[in-house]
Amino acid sequence: MTMEKKRYERPVIQKLNSGLLNKFGSATEIKPLTEIDGVPVKRLVAEYGSPLFVFSERQIREKYAEVHKIFTTRYPKVKFGWSYKTNYLNAICNIFHQQGSWAEVVSGFEYEKALQNGVPGNKIIFNGPDKTAADLQKAMANNSLIHLDHMDEFYLLNELAAAGHKKPRVAIRVNMDTGVYPIWDRFGFNYENGQAWSAINKIMTSGNFTMVGLHCHIGTFMLAPSAYGIAADKLAALFVRIKNKFGHTLEYIDLGGGLPSPNNLKGAYLPGNDLVPPIEEFADTIANSLLNSDIAPNELPLLIMESGRLLIDEAGYLIGTVIANKRLSTGRRATILDFGVNSLFTSFWYNHKISPAQEVSNYKEDVELFGPLCMNIDVVRESVILPPLNTGDRVVAQNVGAYNVTQWMQFITMRPNVVLIDDQGKPHIIRRAESLDTLNQMEEMPAHLKTFKL
């Protein structure tokens, strides 16, 4: 009988620093993440390769139900609009549509995607500063909710509406001071200086529009619930002012997105779990502002929320593989992974939690994680405490569901497979990995460049 050999781990020596201690200390144990929704990481990599994005359908549905309940138990009429730019893989969008989300889009292409997914036109919210005449025509024909961003758009839509004898359903995006800086004043019409009220007057008196709502989106990864309360107060004041002056009752107030996920923002003193206020606090302040406003109880508008990150971030994982280990000139450890900033775009602003995907010892070292790109900017984590990883070991980056599969770049390497694990624990490919053919099919070669001699 041969004796089974012991699991190998790279020899590690680490200096003990007795000096200033981190007042929070650090976890003494690093838990490996060996499976996602019951499916072993090993099996996922064997079947779909590495790197690999994995989404959990169960987690998406559970999170949606949780956040939806938080809002609907505080305010009588609530609708979520799925923010396409956060993650517009069709399978992901359709999970949200099955849960009851409308679509919230910010470009003609996203608008078309929502239509093709089967979202009725009148349940698509069209935001953003870039809507072409053709986009507006289509949105108007489909009775979509067009959120005007600037006066040029107002004049364009006004012309199109007059020519087409069709009354588009519109809202305006309002920007405002909510006590959080910088103010996002590049989108929409300003509240404090009267721009918003002036635009509302133009819309109401033009006769070419049906004004149905008010919209704002005050920022991103917002950590102050009070800011949403101020935003709701201001939109409610406009709602009442429209009612008083024109006798017109709007259908909805859309407070946009920007609610945070428990991710670790770079530069933040505290980790995400300690920094991010409970979502109940956001819902409380929004509901209180609307319910306590001067809006008549029988005319309370529908509250639309366009949360993206909050609903999807935690349901996304990125599995990767250790390509190599090296020591930097300073003696520090560096590990090269097979995914970098091209796939994990959000590593530019988050310190993503990264866990080993196999059993590890309790010994840890400070290591810098690089991606595979031959570019100096390709840093996944500047500093992270991990057990010694061997070449070929797997790691899992967590909370990567938002913005990565939309902002990822085909740069140096190809975008990898994306898999969804369904409610029953069965994986499905929802986006195939790109290949050289994917790229080449879009290129054209002029005849005189077809051949060369070296």
Where on the chain is the footprint of another protein (CB under 8 A)?
5-16, 325, 327, 331, 361, 363, 388, 390-391
We find the least distance from the C-beta atom of residue 393 to another protein, in angstroms, to be 11
Question: Is there a contact between 83 and 447 (Cβ–Cβ < 8 Å)?
Answer: no
403 CA to centre of own chain: 4
Nearer to another protein, 13 or 454 (CB): 13
We find the least distance from the C-beta atom of residue 22 to another protein, in angstroms, to be 17
Nearer to another protein, 5 or 165 (CB): 5
We find the least distance from the C-beta atom of residue 386 to another protein, in angstroms, to be 13
Distances (CA, A) of 409 to 77, 290, 370, 439: 39, 41, 16, 12
We find the least distance from the C-beta atom of residue 360 to another protein, in angstroms, to be 10
Nearer to another protein, 17 or 424 (CB): 17
We find the least distance from the C-beta atom of residue 413 to another protein, in angstroms, to be 24
CA distance 265 to 116: 35
Nearer to another protein, 166 or 332 (CB): 332
Nearer to another protein, 278 or 392 (CB): 392
Question: Is there a contact between 169 and 142 (Cβ–Cβ < 8 Å)?
Answer: no
Counting beta carbons within 10 angstroms of the beta carbon of residue 368, is it exposed (0 to 12), middle (13 to 18) or buried (19 or more)? middle
Nearer to another protein, 16 or 449 (CB): 16
We find the least distance from the C-beta atom of residue 325 to another protein, in angstroms, to be 8
Dihedral sign of CA atoms 57, 60, 63, 68 in order:
negative
We find the least distance from the C-beta atom of residue 15 to another protein, in angstroms, to be 5
Q: Which residue has the tokens 């979202």?
A: 119
Distances (CA, A) of 349 to 186, 264, 266, 356, 390: 21, 9, 6, 21, 27
CA distance 80 to 99: 9
Q: What are phi and psi of 400, to 5 degrees?
A: -115, 15
Cβ count within 10 A of residue 142 = 16
Nearer to another protein, 6 or 450 (CB): 6
**Angle at CA 287, nearest 5°, toward 285 and 289?**
65
Nearer to another protein, 257 or 388 (CB): 388
CA distance 192 to 36: 48
We find the least distance from the C-beta atom of residue 16 to another protein, in angstroms, to be 5
CA distance 437 to 237: 55
CA distance 72 to 321: 42
Nearer to another protein, 273 or 361 (CB): 361
What is the identity of the amino acid at 397? A
We find the least distance from the C-beta atom of residue 3 to another protein, in angstroms, to be 9
Neighbouring-strand partners of residue 211:
170
Task: Report DSSP state, residue 193.
Answer: T
